């Protein structure tokens, strides 16, 4: 009899707990707020190890407190620690600013993630341990973490927007070609299949989307750099075509100093997103000092510079990206850079007190220099390519 009562109590207890689990999962649902807005903050290339550089942590904290985003995306090359436990501790430190504020976050992997002792698959379990929303949607396809996250409308009745996360992998497996890797064919096929499923579930209309990926696609540079007919420079040859090392000034705004795209991309990722017609904007990291914006075939292309200072950074572009979506019109979006030189100069900023900080006067000068640079660049900027 006692056994029957215990069993009955166990069943009742299980039934009582089940809605809590379901509710905990429900809290992770991304949704437009009651004003119809959804904000995404991007931290690119933290590329650090525990303990993190002090100004990096403070910059992330202050950007989060100022913008109060609904989601943070870490855009690859995140931890560069060596060994399982050190990687885990670094991941804990990097994600702490989000965890402390209960802000959901997602990641994509960069070429430096998983290049030491710990695999990308194991790193992903560490991120998930701290609440990361990213999954490896299809473990059979190339890389790790290629996936998507849907954002529900403010009334919660439908999927209003979608976010694609691609693993752009590390180095080209074909050693003869060399250079950085790219999104492989099976990943592109997964994207096409999943986009089709989303479209079907949305009554036959594509779900407007954004794409997040660490290494940029070669197609972007094919558009932004003039071709060289006679000779080539190292690092400026893509798909067998040589390019001049200075980009067209009128095809982009912002800074573009590093063209570190793969030297080869034949699998048609760009064509796939154009053909599918769901992606309104693409965001890339990897090139720490680039913060350029451009537009190609009606798709915005944005390179987010590094937020961190451990690897290499430049005071004229270091910071975090901030996207604001409005569900009233999801064919467009707002984007701004929260630059370190502006954040340092905020009245209550604690960044100047950090061990590795520079003086406020230095950042006043940087801001002045940057404004002057943008002013000169704007003279060359073609009207149709302005993206603010």
Q: Using CB under 5 A as the criterion, which residues of the chain lie in contact with Fe ion when the complex forms?
A: 77, 110-111, 286
User: Shortest gap between Cβ of 311 and Fe ion (angstroms)?
Assistant: 9
Residue number with CB closer to Fe ion (77 or 87):
77
Residue number with CB closer to Fe ion (286 or 318):
286
| Contact predicate 184/157, CB 8 Å | no
User: Shortest gap between Cβ of 361 and Fe ion (angstroms)?
Assistant: 32
User: Shortest gap between Cβ of 110 and Fe ion (angstroms)?
Assistant: 4
| Contact predicate 236/244, CB 8 Å | yes
Residue number with CB closer to Fe ion (251 or 286):
286
Q: Tell me the CA distances in angstroms from 134 to 149, 164, 279, one per residue in order.
A: 8, 10, 19
User: Shortest gap between Cβ of 181 and Fe ion (angstroms)?
Assistant: 11
d(CA 19, CA 35): 28
Residue number with CB closer to Fe ion (111 or 263):
111
Chain position carrying tokens 């009334």: 155
- Rounded to 10°, the helix 54-67/84-101 angle is 30
CA torsion 353-356-360-362 (nearest 10°) is: 170
**Burial 328-349, CB ≥16 within 10 A → b, else e:** eebeebebebbbbbbbbbeeeb
User: Shortest gap between Cβ of 306 and Fe ion (angstroms)?
Assistant: 10
User: Shortest gap between Cβ of 214 and Fe ion (angstroms)?
Assistant: 6
Of 304, 340, 295, residue with least CA distance to 77: 304
Residue number with CB closer to Fe ion (110 or 179):
110
Residue number with CB closer to Fe ion (318 or 367):
318
**Which residue's Cβ has the minimum distance to Fe ion?**
286
d(CA 263, CA 237): 6
């Amino acid at each position: 009899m006692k056994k029957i009562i215990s069993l009955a109590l166990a069943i009742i207890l299980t039934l009582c707990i089940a809605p809590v689990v379901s509710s905990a999962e429900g809290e992770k649902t991304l949704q437009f707020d009651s004003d119809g807005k959804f904000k995404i903050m991007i931290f690119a290339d933290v590329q650090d190890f525990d303990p993190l550089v002090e100004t990096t942590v403070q910059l992330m904290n202050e950007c989060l407190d100022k913008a109060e985003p609904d989601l943070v995306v870490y855009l690859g090359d995140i931890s560069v620690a060596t060994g399982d436990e050190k990687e885990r501790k670094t991941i804990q430190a990097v994600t702490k600013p989000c965890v402390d504020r209960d802000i959901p976050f997602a990641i994509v992997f960069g070429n430096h993630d998983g290049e030491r002792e710990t695999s990308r698959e194991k790193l992903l379990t560490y991120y998930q341990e701290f609440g990361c929303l990213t999954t490896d949607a299809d473990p059979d396809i190339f890389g790790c973490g290629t996936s998507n996250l849907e954002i529900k409308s403010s009334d919660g009745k439908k999927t209003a927007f979608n976010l694609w996360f691609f693993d752009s992998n590390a180095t080209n497996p074909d050693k003869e070609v060399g250079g950085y890797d790219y999104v492989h064919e099976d990943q592109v096929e997964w994207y096409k299949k999943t986009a089709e499923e989303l479209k079907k579930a949305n009554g036959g209309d594509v779900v407007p989307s954004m794409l997040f990926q660490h290494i940029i696609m070669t197609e972007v540079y094919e558009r932004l750099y003039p071709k060289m007919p006679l000779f080539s420079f190292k690092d400026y040859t893509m798909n067998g075509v040589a390019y001049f090392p200075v980009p067209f000034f009128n095809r982009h705004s912002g800074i573009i100093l590093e063209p570190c795209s793969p030297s080869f991309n034949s699998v048609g990722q760009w064509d796939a997103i154009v053909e599918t017609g769901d992606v309104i904007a693409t965001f890339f990291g990897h090139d720490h000092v680039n913060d350029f914006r451009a537009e190609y075939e009606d798709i915005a292309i944005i390179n987010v510079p590094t937020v961190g200072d451990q690897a290499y950074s430049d005071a004229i572009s270091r910071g975090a990206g901030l996207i604001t979506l409005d569900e009233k019109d999801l064919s467009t979006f707002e984007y701004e850079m929260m630059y370190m030189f502006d954040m340092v100069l905020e009245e209550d900023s604690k960044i100047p007190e950090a061990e590795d900080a520079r003086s406020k006067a230095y950042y006043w000068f940087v801001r002045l220099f940057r404004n002057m640079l943008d002013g000169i660049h704007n003279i060359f900027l073609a009207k149709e390519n302005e993206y603010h």
